[in-house]
Structure 1
Amino acid sequence: MLHRPRLRSEFGETSEALFLTASFSYASGEEAEPGFGEPTGRYCYTRVGNPTVHALEERWAQLQGSEAAIATASGMAAVHATLFAMLKAGDRLVASRPLFGSCMWLCTDLLPRFGVEVEFVDAANPAGFAAALGRPAALVLIETPANPTLDLVDIQAVADLAHAAGARLVVDDALASPICQDSLRHGADLVVTSATKHTDGQGRVLGGLIACDRQTRDEVLHPFIKHTGPNLSPFSAWVLLKSLETLELRVLRMAQSALRIASFLQDRGNCAVRYPGLPDDPYQALASRQMHNGGTLLTLRTGGGKQGAFDFLRRLEVIEITNNLGDSRTIATHPATTTHGRLPQAERVAIGIHDDLIRLSVGLEDPDDLIEDLDRALG
């Protein structure tokens, strides 16, 4: 991602230029008229297009290996735009479970209001996907690794089933990033990600990115985003462009530390640990096929229910307690009372979100310091 700027001003800057403007001026009415012709027209209004935002989209497409990409104001804006631009009343959506809490709300509360049928399939149930896709569907949405349980979905297997059913496959790879997982190579048609996570990786800005083919970008997603307005600001795009330059370095270091920490916790023996890169993890074989490494997140169960989890969090001294992930700082989250707190307890437990479950997003600190902090907090 270390390329010279896509578009330079007359000053020859080495960093990408920041075009922090709402609109663009014309010398005459004659110049303005063709300028509004899409997609070949010149820049006219930042909600329609902006050079800094387009530079980010082009870099992201290069990184994902897609024909095109489009940016949104947040990761959830990317998911929302993808679903609502591609679905209509009477369509079927097949979705994996578990999903991030806000994605669940879109599927269980919002889409049905507009006449979209949604069927959920457990991530670990290949036969369930085969059954659900035994009849026509418009779209399939899978989150792999899943938030927060780290369950994996076989992208290639679901892609084959989806395409046979006439559906397109959308993969949410927010917990992996393209450094950990190449979803398009395994059959995904679109990849949505929260750029707030690993792409920024420093807790500064919100952003979302969708990688796809050029026709879908220009004819389906761009009109929806242009007319509904979930656009990424040029400033946030500029921050994300700079972050892309260190994305691979950061994520690879975080994944190495995550494996080391997961191995330590497993050897310690008094907490249940999940990490796709561990040799005995139930998804290790699948992770070795479709991921480049085990990722930057792990989960542990402290025992003692919610109070046990809260006691553990209270004893942490180095690790932050918040609900972000993919950050340069290591973050601990209690999903049952935060990201998935609106789900009924029985439903949370059924998908593996227990009251003592902690999601750990490993950052860039010295792993020895993190291990010491976790060892102390576990008591």
Structure 2
Amino acid sequence: MTTDKPGFTTDAIHAGYEPDSLYGPINTPIYASTTFAQDGLAKLRGGYEYTRVANPTITALEKTVAALEGGKHGVAYASGMAATDVLLRIHLKPGDHLVMGHDAYGGTWRLIDKVFTRWGVEYSVVDTTDVDALAAAIKDNTRLIWLETPTNPLLSVSDIAAVAAVKGDAKLIVDNTFASPYLQNPLALGADVVLHSTTKYIGGHSDVIGGLVVTDDDELEEELRFFFGWVGPIPSPFDAYLTARGAKTLAVRMDRHCDNAEAVARLLEESNLVSQVLYPGLESHPNHEVAKKQMTRFGGMVSVRFASEEAARTFCLSTRLICLAESLGGVESLVEHPATMTHVSAEGSQIEVPRDLVRISVGIEDEADLLADVEAALEAVARL
């Protein structure tokens, strides 16, 4: 049976680029040029004049990720935080209000709390899995609802469609970094904007920083382009090429990430040394049913709480194959202690994370090797 819409992996490989007529390169060329020859005064060849405004390599990446999200427009940025900053500046002005989750990514909270509040922006922190609580937090001056699902690092899952139904005039932005477009498509569920740190699963190899915004809104796309060109938070053509290359294998990588994460989560849940395993694919997860409804699978991230901070630290320091490092979404497995690493800036705040929490980005190594490493780390915890 044929369909008008190509499959996900077909889009990941082909959307956004076709071999050009000059040499026919299969891969998108890296257009390492700051400027482009023009065919006359203000007559642009192919629509390109200056890389800070647009570049063919970057355009190809934007079209690819937009296709994967089922969106009309994609705009790439130098990092996920650059994309976050642009979205906040577009949607907020002094006196405006936003709602965000109580377990949001520390970098997002830090930007809002330390920078945007100086500009007179107000924000409320709520449990976004509680739609009634979220709706109650919306004010007359609420312009933005910032949703992560699953969240970083507690892996809470919010019902995107339910939030979209109560958002009113506020714009709903969904950070889809943890799920990736392969597992979840927020635009189809009512979101206005989708955000990715392409550093993570889309790039997938821990070798390139980037961010990308996808939307169906034509006016918003114009504003996103304004910031892209006039302010200049742009990715380099080489970074765009690396990210697009990573995106081609997103589906096959995500399947392996999910397989391994499910196995690691089950092993941890069986241990009497563990207080709680936070993985949306487990029936014990408080938002399991919502995750089943809006995700195709449950991702490669596993968070786990131990009986004490000492136990959590010991686990992090006892893995050998799983590397102690920040970030996530790469082919290699990583472990971290959020309270002292990625989320240390949130200490004492409304989004402070438990000190007994460990976050694992489960890679695509052989399952048996990962399980053996987790078991060895648990044995170290047992010796405390």
- The TM tier, using the shorter chain, reads over 0.9
Unaligned runs of 5+ in 1: none
What's 2:82 paired with? 77
Partner Cα distance (2:207, 2:371) in 1: 26
What's 1:16 paired with? 28
What's 1:196 paired with? 199
Partner Cα distance (1:132, 1:302) in 2: 32
Q: What's the offset of the Cα at 1:136?
A: 4.5
Q: What's the offset of the Cα at 1:345?
A: 4.1
Deviates more, 1:210-219 or 1:223-232: 210-219
Give the conservation status (yes or no) of the 8 Å contact 1:133–1:161: no
Give the conservation status (yes or no) of the 8 Å contact 1:2–1:245: yes
Partner Cα distance (1:285, 1:91) in 2: 34
DSSP-derived class of the 2:82 partner: helix
Q: Is 1:94 matched up with 2:99?
A: yes
Give the conservation status (yes or no) of the 8 Å contact 2:110–2:346: no
What's 1:42 paired with? 47
Partner Cα distance (1:9, 1:320) in 2: 45
Superposition RMSD on alpha carbons, in Å?
1.7
Q: What's the offset of the Cα at 1:9?
A: 5.5
What's 2:156 paired with? 151
What's 1:3 paired with? 14
Length-normalised TM-score, structure 1? 0.92
Partner Cα distance (1:97, 1:378) in 2: 29
DSSP-derived class of the 1:119 partner: strand
Equivalent residue for 2:284, pick from 268, 280, 285? 280
Deviates more, 1:238-247 or 1:46-55: 238-247
What's 2:117 paired with? 112
Q: What per-residue deviation string (whole Å, max 9, x for no partner) do you get for residues 321-362 of structure 1? A: 11110110011011000111022347455xxx2212110011
Between the aligned residues of both structures, percent identity stands at: 35
Q: What's the offset of the Cα at 1:313?
A: 2.0
What's 1:375 paired with? 375
In structure 2, relative to structure 1, the CA distance for the partners of 1:214 and 1:131 (3 Å cut) is closer
Partner Cα distance (1:332, 1:263) in 2: 17
DSSP-derived class of the 2:115 partner: helix
In structure 2, relative to structure 1, the CA distance for the partners of 1:14 and 1:148 (3 Å cut) is same
Partner Cα distance (1:339, 1:15) in 2: 35
Amino acid at match of 1:144: T
Amino acid at match of 1:122: D
Deviates more, 1:75-84 or 1:90-99: 90-99
In structure 2, relative to structure 1, the CA distance for the partners of 1:368 and 1:216 (3 Å cut) is farther
Q: What's the offset of the Cα at 1:187?
A: 0.7
Partner Cα distance (1:7, 1:13) in 2: 5
Give the conservation status (yes or no) of the 8 Å contact 2:320–2:373: yes
What's 1:140 paired with? 145
Amino acid at match of 1:207: G
What's 2:244 paired with? 241
Q: Is 1:33 matched up with 2:42?
A: yes
Partner Cα distance (1:335, 1:32) in 2: 54
DSSP-derived class of the 2:180 partner: coil
Q: What per-residue deviation string (whole Å, max 9, x for no partner) do you get for residues 233-283 of structure 1? A: 110111111111100100111011111111111122321211000012111
What's 1:364 paired with? 364
Q: What's the offset of the Cα at 1:318?
A: 0.6
Q: What's the offset of the Cα at 1:33?
A: 2.1
DSSP-derived class of the 1:169 partner: strand
Partner Cα distance (1:144, 1:278) in 2: 16
What's 2:382 paired with? none
